[in-house]
Amino acid sequence: MNPFTITGGAGIRSPLQRWHKSQNAVFDSANGAQFVSRYQAVELEANRAKNLGLADLTTFPRCGIKAGHDGQYLRTQGYNLPGGANLAALQSSGSLLLRLSDTEFWLLSDLQQQAKVFAADLVDLPATCYDLPRLHSHCWLALSGDMAPDVLAKLCAVDLRCSAFAVNHIAQTSLARVNVIIVRTDTASGAPRFYLLSDISSCEYLWHCLLDAMQEFSGTTIGLNALQQL
């Protein structure tokens, strides 16, 4: 049986919900959870986000699993495993499998939230595996656009330039003095995009640090609709 089964994000709201409302965000919902679809005209957001855009994906499905024996169990279930720790692998469903160590894996939803990527089924897991719920423990932000590496350079000591930090690479590091997992996962058009995952208690702080760092580069907040168009 597939170790990841979809349960959706029913009842979850982003810690940034009030901020989004203060910016006149338009919301949509899927799997019982709300997310920002746009703040202004989608075409305007998408055009500006080619330079620099920040999106909140905190209510999107995600989960973790400890899979013993080098993740062999996930391989037998048909998952495309990353070649080693701190690498990610795109799945045929569009979801993204992160490998944070030899045995720890996180699965992030595709942007359409159609892939079955949620919560391990404990009944069918072998004794060497157990689930790591991540929906309520971590926030999930997406920073996209040509200037995204320059913004991260202001807040992080790791060299995240596209020439030094390849697609599907992961850095477990500090960003604005907050522990964060940074994943480079470029858009379909090839524009730089970074997923940022951090303790959910740091979500508002991290969001505002990024907004402050983005001002120099004329960045903008974007909703899901613009993010999908990049």
Half-sphere exposure in the Cβ direction for 129 (13 Å, CA): 23
Do the domain assignments include residue 76? no
Calculate what percentage of the chain has a pLDDT beyond 70. 90
Show the tokens assigned to 138: 């971590």
Do the domain assignments include residue 3? no
Q: What is the pLDDT of residues 211-228, one digit of tens each?
A: 999 999 999 999 999 999
Domain count, the chain: 1
Q: What is the pLDDT of residues 80-89, one digit of tens each?
A: 999 999 999 9
Half-sphere exposure in the Cβ direction for 71 (13 Å, CA): 22
Average of per-residue pLDDT values in the chain:
89
Do the domain assignments include residue 174? yes
Q: Give me the phi and psi of 153, to 5 degrees please.
A: -65, -25
Do the domain assignments include residue 165? yes
Do the domain assignments include residue 15? no
Confidence of residue 117 (pLDDT cuts 50, 70, 90): low
CA quadruple 155, 156, 160, 164: dihedral sign: positive
User: What DSSP line would sit under 74-88, residue for residue?
Assistant: HHHTT----SSTTEE
Do the domain assignments include residue 100? no
Q: In terms of residue numbers, what domain contains 201?
A: 23-29+37-60+137-229
Do the domain assignments include residue 72? no
- 104-108 and 170-175 as β-strands: parallel, antiparallel, unpaired? unpaired
Do the domain assignments include residue 150? yes
Report the alpha-carbon angle 170-186-86, nearest 5. Answer: 10
CATH of the domain at 150: 3.30.1360.120
For tokens 């909703």, what's the residue? 223
DSSP state of 25: P
Could you tell me which residues come within 8 angstroms of residue 113 by beta carbon, excluding any fewer than 6 positions away?
A: 30, 31, 60, 61
For tokens 């979809």, what's the residue? 6
Please tell me whether the overall predicted TM-score, pTM, comes out greater than 0.75 for this model. yes
**Residue 5 and residue 63: Cα distance in Å, rounded?**
10
Is the pLDDT at 6 greater than 70? The verdict is no
